[in-house]
Chain A
Amino acid sequence: MVQQTDVLIIGGGVIGCAVARELSRYDVSITVLDRAWDVAEGASKANSGIVHAGYDAVPGTLKAKYNVEGAQMLPALCEELGVPYRQCGALVVGFSEEDRGTLETLLARGEANGVPALRIIGKEELLSLEPHLNPQACCALLVPTSGIVSPYELTFAFADDAALNGVRFRFGAEVKSVERLSDGSFEAKTEHDTWRCRILVNCAGASSADLHNQLSPEKKKIIHRRGQYYLLDRPVSAPFERTIFQCPSAMGKGVLVSPTVHGNVLLGPSAEDIDDPLDTETTQSGLDSVMDRVRLTWPDVSLRTNITNFSGVRAHEEGGDFIIGPVAGSPGAYEATGIESPGLSSAPAIGRALAEMISHEQELVRKERIRPYEKPPIPFREMTPAQQQEALEANPLYGSIICRCEVITEAEIVAAIHRPVPATHIDAVKRRTRAGMGRCQGGFCSPRVASILSRETGIPLTEVTKNGGNSYLLTGTLTENAERSDRT
């Protein structure tokens, strides 16, 4: 079917959603396409969740510019959107004199980029700040303004705000080809539809270079660099207060040990170049490489409380920097290509910059009225007893605990299913509410969440999926199965 929209944003990751949210303030029709069945299904859901302070990027690069701007925007933005964020600080730890030299370079870069309050500390101060750190560490760059954020919840907030202001989201819509037509408009083909638009925004992450190359004579190449992680259960007391980096290498910022905004401990990522960006499996060798490096930071690490492993794929452009702006040779097309770390930290700034550029060049008119954002409900477990009482009186579904490990109520799950960008499968509910994120990994709650999804969306239980597409949970009813095996 031929579909029309003024602005077509390809990719519903944190960048695509940030752009969508900013553009939703203008009087244009906007559609976001994503190959998956939810936003944030690519690298946006599977990364370290660090808000980098901006000491790492080389001054003068787009990475440095947008990182610093984005990191400055995030605290207020997260507050406004109800996204978990914490400025926990970071340490880049050195284990040798050579490392100290690297730290000096980072310090100089950070200062050139305008990162405040950086300083290099010695062993004694370091170990008093983080007593679980390997005592062989000899120095560190202390980064007080480094933070942590929930990357997928940031994406959901951008997407919800955009949807509330008229942006359409279409899932299961992988763009197979894009073309600039002779009249200057664009055509993007998915399996089922042909999308026509005046303005095209390429935020396709891992696939962004493919789209770029279809539109531009200046070719780009993305290297898919997978990072694997361990996620540990919420400890009674956090082993590390701050994000602990090791001195960076050519392959990335190295392996980190970090608290998450939800109180878990994150270990990773590995760095390995792969061919297919959808290969987000974990491997024994990748996981082992993470643990080898983690032990250097945290000699007493134990995997006894490991909850899950996952991997994400960084979109590393060969040139090494972000590519942001108009697509060369295709007026009307814009892009954010090669967005790897610090892409999450940069996302709000990239979204704002692209929207400003597009609205200015395409002469978009600002809407008179913007619908104010409605934050998702405060998680029940984070409410005060008085708030809990009040919530219960307003909605008895708060009295029904669905996920025991994370104490998630039916009210929160129902709310997630009815957000502006609704949760339509188990993983979508999980990321929006944390039901199934705990130590039993959905063993108890997933059948209940499936029932609630079925009830609230009116689909049979056999059509409920883990994360859309063909990821069905159940293969049929017992009766159907008995009939099938009678026939064979």
Chain B
Amino acid sequence: MNREHVDILIIGAGPAGLASAIAAREDGIESLLVLERESQPGGILRQCIHNGFGLHRFSEELTGPEYAQRDIDRARELKIPIECDTTVLSVSPDRVVTCISRENGLRQIEAGAVILAMGCRERPRGALCTPGTRCAGIYSAGTAQRFVNLEGFMPGQRVVILGSGDIGLIMARRMTLQGAKVLACVEIMPYSSGLNRNIVQCLQDYDIPLYLSHTVTDIKGRERLESVTVSRVDERRRPIPGTEMEFECDTLLLSVGLIPENELSEGAGVSISPATSGAVVSDSFETSVPGIFACGNVLHVHDLVDHVSSESFRAGHAAAAFVRSEKRESVFLFVQDGEGVRGTVPQKIQLPPAQDVTLMFRPSGVFRNASAVISCGGKELFRRKAMIFTPGEMASYTLKADSFAGLDGSEPLTVRIEKGAE
């Protein structure tokens, strides 16, 4: 097998891969390659034909394909090579990437830096251990979205949606507009994990009931789905006997969470955070393996593509700096999740930071009139009040580089939510 060499190899041509490639090219990296397993770049945005993308980045409401096209166009302008229909089989700790395609067969590419931008996948039914039959008509919401939006087929006519993640909410509206009857959206938690605007625009506007603190407890149908049983759950998420409701339906869509797709990362020896299921990274998005970077939904699941892009631009710049061997002091300030906070990214910050540092995390519950507080030792570095924190909306705060002055990494940085007076 021939060994090729590139300075930066990017795995995935979704919004994360495209943004990081653009940033690296703009920083002057000539030798760059993006590998994409689908037949076109754009990632999951290709099937997200609804609008609402780009409000932060472009101050416009774009559809998913329109948003992606802007980055694809920019990448073309910059003559960034994107090889589609190419699947990466493995990444080694010393950054040798093995990939395969019909056109070029099996190849090995040695990379100066690798940017992991593989995105995430949906949690399937098995992750919930939902009992019942294993009939046809049970889809993850994204699979159904692909059938409808990319292939032009209807997966069903009478639909129950389990989980109130954003894709499930979007599909509730999409299926309704296409003539299906969406009977219910069922969420096991007492709050939705989706964006509030999607609850309003995709459920309420179409009179689709949202059952909070409920879950599907039985699935019936030998060949095609015939009905599901929905039960209320107690505060420990156990079904309460006697609360069962039966919905006759031919389709159950699951929108029960997304999991960063890190099998390649793990193969390369990258440390994975149990809180995010993504790589542990520094503020330059470098993983525990030198020269391997991660950004976008493979790092942690975002709500908004705008944030994926901004994070990935930063990762692309950082990878370019790595390739140019711009060494920095390696004193790290470790970041830890405090009360009310889960999965803060990055998990460590190089001192002194070269630029401003954005910290992103998910609230672990719903908090009203509370404050996000970032502190180190006894020193409070940042405080921001908000009307509401919910797990469905990622919090993101940028700290000026100079706010880290005087810190030596001997104590960790703590991110927490301070409950306000009710």
Contacts and interface: CB of A to CB of B under 8 A. Distances in A.
A447 interface: yes
The 5 closest A-B pairs by CB, nearest first: A485-B179, A466-B136, A441-B124, A399-B102, A471-B136
Nearest to B118: A404
Contacts of A181: none
Contact of A481 (B87, B134, B179): B179
Nearest to A440: B121
Interface in B98-155: 100-106, 121-122, 124-127, 129, 131-136, 139-140, 142-143, 146-148, 151-155
Interface of A: 230-231, 236, 278, 280-284, 286-287, 303, 306-310, 385, 388-389, 392-393, 396-401, 404-405, 407, 439-444, 446-447, 451, 461-462, 465-482, 484-485
B223 A469 contact: yes
A308 B125 contact: yes
Nearest to A236: B266
B90 to A, nearest CB: 10
Nearest to B153: A474
A128 to B, nearest CB: 28
A172 to B, nearest CB: 11
B127 A306 contact: yes
A171 to B, nearest CB: 14
B224 A472 contact: yes
6 contacts: A400-B85, A441-B124, A446-B143, A471-B224, A477-B154, A481-B180
Contact of A282 (B132, B154, B157): B132
B366 interface: no
Interface in B164-203: 178-180
Given A474-B153, A476-B153, A481-B180, A284 B217 contact: yes
Nearest to B250: A475
Contact of B131 (A284, A392, A470, A482): A284
A287 B155 contact: no
Nearest to A310: B134
B37 interface: yes
B222 interface: yes
Among A303, A397, A441, A477, the most chain B Cβ lie within 10 Å of the Cβ of A441
B131 A471 contact: no
A110 B105 CA distance: 52
B156 interface: yes
Given A282-B132, A470-B224, A471-B136, A388 B126 contact: no
Contact of A473 (B87, B155, B217): B155
Given A306-B127, A441-B125, A480-B154, 11 more contacts: A281-B134, A308-B134, A309-B129, A399-B104, A447-B147, A461-B153, A465-B136, A466-B135, A467-B223, A470-B223, A479-B152
A459 B127 CA distance: 33
B154 A481 contact: yes
Contacts of B387: none
B126 A478 contact: no
A478 B129 contact: no
Nearest to B39: A400
Contact of B37 (A230, A286, A401, A469): A401
Contact of B136 (A467, A479, A480): A467
A195 B261 CA distance: 52
Contacts of A282: 131-132
A440 B126 CA distance: 9
A479 B154 CA distance: 9
A307 B136 contact: no
A471 B135 contact: yes
Given A385-B1, A396-B102, A230 B121 contact: no
Nearest to A411: B102
A475 B105 contact: no
Looking at chain B's contact residues, the main secondary structure is: mixed
A280 B217 CA distance: 16
Contact of B106 (A309, A392, A462, A476): A392
A467 to B, nearest CB: 7
A475 B134 CA distance: 18
Among B129, B147, B180, the most chain A Cβ lie within 10 Å of the Cβ of B129
A478 B124 contact: no
Contacts of A468: 223
B245 interface: no
A392 B126 contact: no
A451 B152 CA distance: 13
B154 A307 contact: no
B386 interface: no
Contacts of A308: 124-126, 134
Contacts of B178: 478, 481-482, 485
A485 B178 CA distance: 8
B89 interface: yes
B131 A441 contact: no
Interface in B250-264: 250, 261, 263
A473 B134 contact: no
B217 A476 contact: no
Given A309-B129, A400-B102, A466-B136, A440 B124 contact: yes
A98 B241 CA distance: 38
Contacts of B89: 401, 407
A405 B134 CA distance: 20
Contact of A392 (B105, B136, B220): B105
Nearest to B125: A441
B125 A474 contact: no
Contacts of B143: 442-444, 446-447
A441 B138 CA distance: 11
B154 A475 contact: yes
B295 to A, nearest CB: 20
B126 A281 contact: no
Contacts of A307: 124, 126
B128 to A, nearest CB: 9
A399 B136 contact: no
A41 to B, nearest CB: 12
Nearest to A478: B152
Given A472-B224, A478-B178, A482-B178, A441 B37 contact: no
A14 B350 CA distance: 61
Contacts of B219: 281
Contacts of B37: 401, 404
Interface string B258-278: 000101001000000000000
Given A461-B151, A477-B153, A481-B154, A472 B136 contact: yes
A462 B156 CA distance: 11
B167 to A, nearest CB: 11
A476 B147 CA distance: 11
A88 to B, nearest CB: 24
A281 to B, nearest CB: 4
Contacts of B131: 281-284, 286-287, 309
A278 B223 CA distance: 11
B121 A443 contact: yes
Interface string B45-87: 0000000000000000000000000000000000000000101
B254 to A, nearest CB: 9
A344 B278 CA distance: 42
A473 B146 CA distance: 13
Given A404-B37, A443-B121, A447-B146, A476 B132 contact: no
